[in-house]
Amino acid sequence: MLRDVLILQKRELKKRLAERYIPRQAQLRQQDSNLVKVIIGPRRVGKSFFAIHQLSGFKDLGYVNFDDERLADLTDYDELLAAVDSVHNNPKILLLDEIQNLPKWELFANRLSRQGYNLFITGSNAHLLSRELATHLTGRHTSVVLFPFSFPEYLKATSSTELTNNEKRQKLEEYLEQGGYPEPLVKNIDRKEYLSTLFDSVIYKDILRRYKIRSPQGIVDLSQYLLSNTAMEFSYTSLSEIGHCRSVHTVQRYMGYLQEAYLFFTLSRFSYKMRGQAGENKKIYCIDNGLVSAKAFQLSQDRGRRYENAVAIRLKCLESQGGFRFFYWRNAQNEEVDFVIYKDRKVSQLIQVCFDMARQKVREREVRALLKASAELECGNLLVLTADYEAVEEIEWFGIKGKVKFMPLWKWLAE
């Protein structure tokens, strides 16, 4: 039975290698066989596809996909290894897909690493993986977080020729609507139906079932509200008034599950004091604009919030590679800067997202907040991401001077 499952999975692996592959910008260290290589990220962003193509040149590769109901009751890991050896001819390189579905997987991975296997694993639960990796594989693993397609990857997936700048600008509007999940873009699949089904599957399979939540309506209501209010500020108290979420504690727990499953992420308000950050409201972002357009309840298209969500996703991806953290800024007058980049113990850049530069009041509001934050945080690297306006301007507001760079969002994302 077990051997038969692995034979069928091996055939699936060969079929996948024949499918069209869009090279990813993520980098995976392969050279050190002593380190466990971990690929984490949302479901269906191509983690296993990425790993398979990274390892396609190796003949002695063993593969097991634990996102398979036929392996749900697996407990005998020695029997599993014997079946892998039989099907894959005693491989020394192993790719274990969606390993978080395996009971006590971290102990099994640790044993394989000690036995000299060159081990690659993928998973779709951020907290579970990070907690167990920190406990059992400290210093013996390297990881990469894979996100839905970035804008450059989206251009490769949807265009067969080199594009002009004007064509890239037009493609951005498609990207903000369709999102970056690979499968609907490279196959003839209905995007909205695919993404809607995927979102529901993550809620019911990765959250409700895993955490044994008896009443699903609370987290369903909460997730729907978050989708429809992406790029908005929230407090746990305000969220507790939604639908069937009746307590702050329940909301905090549900928010943790939604973030662990890579559906959403939150942004803290910037403060040099950790206590100041913890006590303030946060902002919510969705991991992909396509999920928002497929599932959110919206009376109109809010392009400004989609612009901001796209920037947040890109910054989250870059943050996962290390080197900086990012926040939002708000002062006592409720003036806001969308993103504060914090690097090497100082604020290195302030980013404002302003879709509607044609309206003078909007432009003045956004730039005024940027200059005030610049003075308070002692940062002169000021960027405004726009729909199409591009310039560098010396601006003064009530004695506060600054050089502000205006840049079209498509160009910033393409870089």
Q: Quick one: 140 and 160 in the same domain?
A: no
Given 78, 112, 145, the domain boundary residue is 145
Q: Are 295 and 227 in contact (CB under 8 A)?
A: yes
Q: Quick one: 133 and 191 in the same domain?
A: no
Classify residue 317: in a domain, yes or no: no
The CA distance from 236 to 302, in Å, is: 24
The total number of structural domains in the chain stands at 3
What residues form DSSP beta bridges with 341? 326, 349
H or E element at residue 414: helix 409-414
Classify residue 320: in a domain, yes or no: no
Q: Quick one: 122 and 159 in the same domain?
A: no
For residue 80, give the nearest of 57, 103, 59, 52 by alpha carbon.
103
Tens place of pLDDT for every residue, the chain, 415 residues? Answer: 899 999 999 999 888 888 889 999 888 776 667 888 999 999 999 999 999 988 877 888 999 999 999 998 999 999 999 999 999 999 999 999 999 888 888 889 989 988 999 999 999 988 666 767 767 676 688 889 999 999 999 999 999 899 999 999 999 999 999 999 999 999 889 999 999 999 999 999 899 988 989 888 999 999 999 999 999 999 999 999 886 777 899 999 999 999 999 999 999 999 987 665 666 799 999 999 999 999 987 755 588 999 999 999 999 999 998 889 999 999 999 999 999 999 999 999 999 999 888 788 889 999 999 999 999 999 999 999 999 999 999 998 888 899 999 999 999 999 8
Classify residue 18: in a domain, yes or no: yes
Given 107, 123, 145, the domain boundary residue is 145
Q: Quick one: 102 and 141 in the same domain?
A: yes
What SS3 state is found at 404? strand
Instruction: Tell me the one-letter amino acid at 311.
Output: V
Domain residue limits at 252: 151-302
What SS3 state is found at 256? helix
The CA distance from 2 to 75, in Å, is: 12
Classify residue 262: in a domain, yes or no: yes
Enter the DSSP assignment of 288.
-
Q: Read off the CATH number of the domain in which 183 is found.
A: 1.10.10
Q: Quick one: 257 and 400 in the same domain?
A: no
Q: Read off the CATH number of the domain in which 115 is found.
A: 3.40.50
Q: Quick one: 181 and 141 in the same domain?
A: no
Q: Quick one: 19 and 113 in the same domain?
A: yes
Classify residue 307: in a domain, yes or no: no
For residue 303, give the nearest of 236, 240, 353, 370 by alpha carbon.
353
Classify residue 309: in a domain, yes or no: no
Alpha helices in 229-384 (DSSP H): 236-239, 248-260, 274-278, 289-295, 303-320, 360-377
Q: Quick one: 185 and 219 in the same domain?
A: yes
Length of the chain: 415
> Look-up: residue for tokens 């399979």?
205
Cβ-in-10-Å burial (0-12, 13-18, 19+) of 114 comes to exposed
